[in-house]
A and B are shown apart, each in its own frame.
Chain A
Amino acid sequence: MSDAATPRSRASVGPWGWVGRIFLTVMLLFTLLPMVWMLLTSFKSGFAALQFPPQWWPKEPTLASYKKLLDPTSSVGADFLRFFWNSLFVSTMSTILSVIVAVPAAYAFSRFDFPGRKFLFFSVLLRNMFPAVVFLVPLFILMRLLGLMNTHGSLILTYLTFGLPLAIWLLKGFYDNIPYQLEQAARIDGASRFQAFVMIVMPLSVPGIIATAIYSFIGAWNEYIFAYTFINRNDRLTLPIGIQRFFSESSSDFPGLMAASFMMSVPVVVLFLMLQRYFVRALTEGAVKH
């Protein structure tokens, strides 16, 4: 995503230029306003949120909702922080595992020409077509068999497999772009194939690995349906499910809900903004090659 290419000149703003500006403004408003409203609501008291006409700007802004959620001594706060920690643990573990499994697989799919390569690659991609529901009941039973119900292990294992196809696809795009001559040179200097992989290719593909990791992390952090099905114990819930419980118990506490939604979004948005260029590049590397 370099800023180099600017095919259309900026000298004159023709009618299309104006259409573009108006369109972009509308899209920015469409994107931003819901999030702004979330933030504004989260600074209101429960009473102020339920007024008609609404307070367009909170008259008495308060951090009460945030304090309540982040206070480990209150029951809501203790729950919220535990959900947060659970989410962090599950997402981090499944991210690490999926990188470990995806890196060699993607490398093999990119470099080696073993029989069945195409078939295996597409059967990996095929997983994306199955509706998650196909897996729910059988995995539910499988997890019970393995004694993993209500454990984070069940979620980590599930997220690992669901993140894999995309991780492999993204990483393969990166490996395809690393010139084979580099490894050949290393091989000539006496490195084994595996050494060439670890010492030459791996360091070069760090951006790809970072991107894949972010992608897995965000996917796991936001996952809902399996966590909703596999986990019933209150102290094991992840954030999306925890927030749902929190909401159904106090259904008119919209400021609290908005504050929780905001805090749930912060880690992934920050992570994404920091590492944006890797992320965007990886996603497009598989589909478009420069």
Chain B
Amino acid sequence: MSIRTSDAPAGGAPARAVARGDGVLRRTWIHRADYLYVLPAIVVMLIVIAYPVYYTIDLSFYSTPPSLQLRDKIFIGFDNYKTILESEVFWRVTLNTFIWTIVSTGSAYILGLGCALCLHQAFPGRAVMRAILIIPWVISAVAASYIWKWIYHSNFGVIGAILVELGIMDRQPNFIDNVNTVLASLIVVNVWREFPFAMIMLAAGLQTVPDQLLRAAKVDGAGAWQSFWHVTFPHLRGVSIATILLLAVANFNSFIVTWIMTGGGPSNASHIWITHIYEIAFGRQRWGIAAAYSVILFLIVMSLGYFYVRGLGGAEKEGGGS
């Protein structure tokens, strides 16, 4: 699959390199037809993305009535931000969100890497196994949440029943109605859904590790672990960064699993940012607070997003060379 080797704008560049060095306006004019190709995408994105972002920032400075007739909103400056940052729940939820994101992302990455490595060798049944391992990622998160909710059920859940049958516990444990175990239980579900994604990405990354290097390492007497650590793993750097960033962003923004399984309870123990905002906005109808909350999140995710863009850019550059 590799013909192109160098810089990103593979195609049009050679034919029109002449135009380079002229003014931006002139270049824009020369390339005017190019914009027609991206125009539909940009227009749609502007309507459904730029407007909401502007609107949210604007709304975050207002105190709003519960009804969505937002005409009688009152400008209150940064009060919404103050309210949020001073509330204890916000910090509790933020801690939850970081635990949720870091543990989910890390576990999904490690399990995905393990599976990718195991499936890298050829053996009978490999394709079937790979297909099976990917299924949790394909099925609806709503279905997954209900499956696990049933598995964790506090009276008839199958895990509890196994533990009782084996004599490890004397009665059904509460997984998701217990403040201490709820977050961990939800993270298991989340990892179940996400590790296949890491596996797919890393399996593709493994294909780019040059065989010669692995053979050379073997000749030099490297064991399996050494050749993994010194040859394979460094080659996976670009794809690992992309995978971890995509997973982290998805986890910061996740909603469905928590919302369906617990709704954030018991007593906020499993609330993460998005479920909390959703409750503030659509549950308590405090739109201004919810908007300010969204802006705070956006700033946090944005600063992480700086690395996201850099990581993707880096992965793109690295990929080009192989």
**Which A residues lie at the B interface, using CB under 8 A?**
1-3, 5-8, 10, 14, 16, 20-21, 23-24, 27-28, 30-32, 34-35, 37-38, 41, 49-54, 100-102, 104-105, 107-117, 120, 122-142, 144, 157-158, 160-161, 164, 168, 176-177, 179-180, 183, 193, 218, 221-222, 224-225, 229, 239-240, 243-244, 247, 254, 257-258, 261-262, 264-265, 268-269, 272-273, 276, 280-281, 283-284, 287-290
Contact = CB atoms under 8 A, between A and B. Distances in A.
B139 A112 contact: no
B9 to A, nearest CB: 4
A283 B35 CA distance: 26
Contacts of B12: 111-113
A58 to B, nearest CB: 13
Given A1-B207, A8-B121, A276-B131, A284 B201 contact: yes
Contact of A28 (B14, B121, B132): B132
Nearest to A174: B1
A32 B139 CA distance: 13
A107 B37 contact: yes
A122 B205 CA distance: 23
Contacts of B91: none
Contacts of B143: 240, 243, 261-262, 264-265
Interface of B: 1-4, 8-14, 16, 24, 27-28, 31, 33-38, 40-42, 44-45, 47-49, 51-53, 55-56, 59, 68, 70, 111, 114-115, 117-123, 126, 129, 131-136, 138-144, 146-148, 150-151, 153, 155-156, 158, 161, 164-165, 172, 192, 195-196, 200-201, 203-209, 211, 214-215, 224-225, 238-239, 242-243, 246, 249, 252-253, 255-256, 259-260, 273-274, 277-278, 281-282, 287, 290-291, 294, 297-298, 301-302, 304-305, 308-309, 312-313, 315, 319-320, 322
The interface residues of chain A, by DSSP majority, are classed as helix
Given A129-B302, A160-B48, 12 more contacts: A7-B120, A50-B155, A54-B158, A105-B42, A114-B27, A122-B313, A134-B53, A136-B281, A261-B146, A265-B140, A288-B205, A288-B208
A34 B164 contact: no
A289 B317 CA distance: 10
B91 to A, nearest CB: 18
A164 B52 contact: no
B89 to A, nearest CB: 16
A176 B4 contact: yes
A141 B37 CA distance: 30
A193 B35 CA distance: 14
Contact of B31 (A21, A115, A269): A115
B243 A158 contact: no
A98 B186 CA distance: 32
A188 to B, nearest CB: 11
B70 A141 contact: yes
A30 B194 CA distance: 13
B135 A225 contact: no
B187 to A, nearest CB: 14
B45 A161 contact: yes
A117 B158 CA distance: 53
A243 B146 contact: yes
A10 B256 CA distance: 42
B86 to A, nearest CB: 21
A56 to B, nearest CB: 9
Can you list the 7 inter-chain pairs with the closest CB atoms, starting with the nearest? A284-B204, A111-B11, A108-B37, A114-B31, A138-B52, A261-B143, A138-B55
Contact of B56 (A113, A137, A176): A137
B53 A179 contact: no
A114 B206 CA distance: 34
Contacts of A50: 155-156
Contacts of B282: 136, 229
Contacts of B204: 1, 280-281, 283-284, 287-288, 290
Contacts of B298: 130-131, 134
